[in-house]
Structure 1
Amino acid sequence: MTTDPSFAIPAHPQRRFPHGSGVEYEGGTEFRLTPEGERATPELADTVVGILANGPYRYGDFHDLPMPLWLVRDEETTDVFRVAVRDGTVRLHVLPTTESDGLQRFFERLCGATGGQSWSVRRHVDGQ
């Protein structure tokens, strides 16, 4: 298992509310979690669904997108973030009020759900 990756958040996205078009986010941070051994996107999506279903999460998915995507709230930490599965990675998208604890706990549950498989964690910050 990967030991103590950092889920420090150097930049949160800013919300914008353009007239007549909902909400948009500018900037931000994304964590890309990649298993040591290659796993297909549908298999990773099933793993994420299992983690979310076992709690302590409240979540909803977006049905009409080309990739699995959920809006997630960790009921223990109260952190809200998005989880996407794309190209063999699980991606945690930071939202304006997301803190590191919720991301760290999701990662720990992911490691547990995959039998302690090693995962790499890469942080991507917009504009860097």
Structure 2
Amino acid sequence: MSEPRSQPSFAIPQRPERRYSRTSGLSYEGTTVFVLMPEPTSDAADPDAWLYDLTERVLDTDRYTYGDWFDLPMPVFLVHDRGTSDVFRVAIRDGRIEFHVLPETDSKGLSALYERLCTAAGGTWHVECRTDADR
């Protein structure tokens, strides 16, 4: 019998503040990022491609509206969880998935996506919370 997976709390210790400037547009002050790393690490030839496919497969369910509208060197999705009404960013890089908290993000949406990723991947994940205060 396998050990039950312990659920990370996804408690948000610091919320970013949204700033608007006429010259530089929208920006955020302060960050909270939850970093998810599969255990054991995927043996896929390209772990980021495997994580991208996994994430997109989970986001393609009826629960989510998402898009990758950013021209960046890595995948960054803006995600809306219709079940919890949460909005947050999801990034994939260096063999990990990152949940980037926005000002109105709630722990419920982060936790729900985490559970779906665990179920779809069939494994466990190590989760770390990082904030500006950690730097």
What's the TM-score once normalised by structure 1's chain length? Answer: 0.94
1:65 aligns to 2:72 (yes or no): yes
Shift of 1:2: 3.6
1:38 aligns to 2:44 (yes or no): no
Please give the alpha-carbon distance, in whole angstroms, between the structure 1 residues aligned to 2:10 and 2:70. 28
Please give the alpha-carbon distance, in whole angstroms, between the structure 2 residues aligned to 1:98 and 1:75. 12
- Taking every aligned residue pair, what percent have the same amino acid on both sides? 48
Partner of 2:128 in structure 1?
A: 122
What's the TM-score once normalised by structure 2's chain length? Answer: 0.89
Please give the alpha-carbon distance, in whole angstroms, between the structure 2 residues aligned to 1:65 and 1:2. 34
Partner of 2:19 in structure 1?
A: 16
**Which deviations, in whole Å up to 9, do the C-alpha atoms of 1:82-123 show, x marking residues without a partner?**
0000100000000000010000000000001101x0100000
CA contact (8 A) 1:2 1:119 kept: no
Please give the alpha-carbon distance, in whole angstroms, between the structure 2 residues aligned to 1:90 and 1:16. 26
Shift of 1:62: 2.7
Partner of 1:102 in structure 2?
A: 109
Partner of 1:75 in structure 2?
A: 82
Size of the aligned set, in residue pairs, is: 127
SS of 1:17's equivalent in the other structure is strand
**Which deviations, in whole Å up to 9, do the C-alpha atoms of 1:57-88 show, x marking residues without a partner?**
01111352100000001001000000000100
Aligned CA-pair RMSD: 1.2
Pick the aligned partner of 1:25 from 25, 28, 40: 28
When Rg is computed on C-alpha atoms for both structures, the one with the higher figure is 2
Partner of 1:87 in structure 2?
A: 94
Shift of 1:21: 2.4
SS of 2:116's equivalent in the other structure is helix
SS of 2:37's equivalent in the other structure is strand
